[in-house]
Amino acid sequence: MQTKPRIAFIGLGIMGLPMAWHLLKAGFPLTVYNRTASRASDLVRAGARQAATPAEAAPGADFVISIVTDGPDVEQVLLGPDGAVHGAQHGAVFIDMSTISPETARNLADRLSLHQIEFLDAPVSGGDVGARNATLTIMAGGKQDVFERARPVFEVLGKRLTHVGPAGAGQVVKACNQVVTAVNLLAVCEALTLAEKNGIDQQTMIHVLAGGASQSWSLENMGPRIAKGDFTPGFMVKLLQKDLNIVLSLARRHGLALPGATLVQRFLEDNVAHGEATEGSQALYKALKRAAE
């Protein structure tokens, strides 16, 4: 009987924790690391091993998966003094599922290759709902054969798995995803505001629009939360702001104007100025309402 590959999983946040659970339940031998160690307690009780550092998590792992906040965090957990690279075996595959810049992803691939370690940048889309339901969309940059090696792991986490090009390409596609997500979320917020100002029940409006050409993930997942006044984070304002910084930096490099993404970023700046950085990205609705007052 063929044994499943061993996985080291780094980052047990809103997305990472349910993803780690899916891997453990699927029978992958799992070692986990998280900066706040208590986040791993239930996983450990269920059979995962806990490491004190990323370097301690990596020995013997066939795949090292990271999903943390930003580029500097990825560099720290993979290549820092206690980074996973210092415990990894030659031939291991590092898979970063964070959202970082394409430049950082390409740099990581180059630096890890010096240690005979393969790298995939494989950011995800689908939010906390997709992470919990194992229905994430995964867009991966790197070598095609390495992607195929990782496919059995990805199949546990998501439903649409696509190799999109060389190292860094996954992050370019994720930047495109964030443009559509952000501008669509703004459209949902505008529609909810318009309905409210005209005396239409917001939940009723969502029900109607979700059956027609306006149907979207943001409408069906963020719309009801906004209508209920639920701004708890599945994805925080400050993280969407970080992602749009990546988007707009990439656009400037190519001389592109992205007016929709730029406008959303301005509203997010208002959220942050009003102490809403750690609320869910649907708090964009609050900034829009303030602008209309």
Mean pLDDT of 37-53: 98
Ordered by where they begin, the domains of the chain are 7-165 (3.40.50.720), 172-292 (1.10.1040.10)
**pLDDT attached to residue 74:** 98
Sorting pLDDT into bands at 50, 70 and 90, what band is 2? Answer: low
Ranges assigned E (strand) in the chain = 7-10, 30-33, 49-50, 63-66, 93-96, 118-121, 124-125, 136-141, 158-165
Q: What is the CA radius of gyration of the chain?
A: 20
> Which pairs count as long-range contacts for 217-222, CB under 8 Å and 24+ apart, including other chains?
217/126, 217/127, 217/181, 217/184, 218/181, 218/184, 218/185, 218/187, 218/188, 219/184, 219/188, 219/191, 221/127, 221/129, 222/185, 222/188, 222/280, 222/281, 222/282
Q: Tokens for 107, please give them.
A: 């740099």
What burial class does residue 183 get, using C-beta atoms within 10 Å of its C-beta: 0-12 exposed, 13-18 middle, 19+ buried? middle
Sorting pLDDT into bands at 50, 70 and 90, what band is 87? Answer: very high
Sorting pLDDT into bands at 50, 70 and 90, what band is 292? Answer: confident
**Mean model confidence pLDDT for the chain:** 97
Mean pLDDT of 218-242: 96
Nearest-angstrom CA–CA distance, 109 and 112: 5
**pLDDT attached to residue 100:** 98
Whether residue 197 lies in the annotated active site: no
Is 83 a residue whose pLDDT tops 90?
A: yes
**pLDDT attached to residue 270:** 98
Amino acid at 170: G
Mean pLDDT of 267-280: 98
* DSSP3 helix / strand / coil % (the chain, rounded to 5): 55, 15, 30
Sorting pLDDT into bands at 50, 70 and 90, what band is 293? Answer: confident
4, 25, 174, 228: the catalytic one is 174
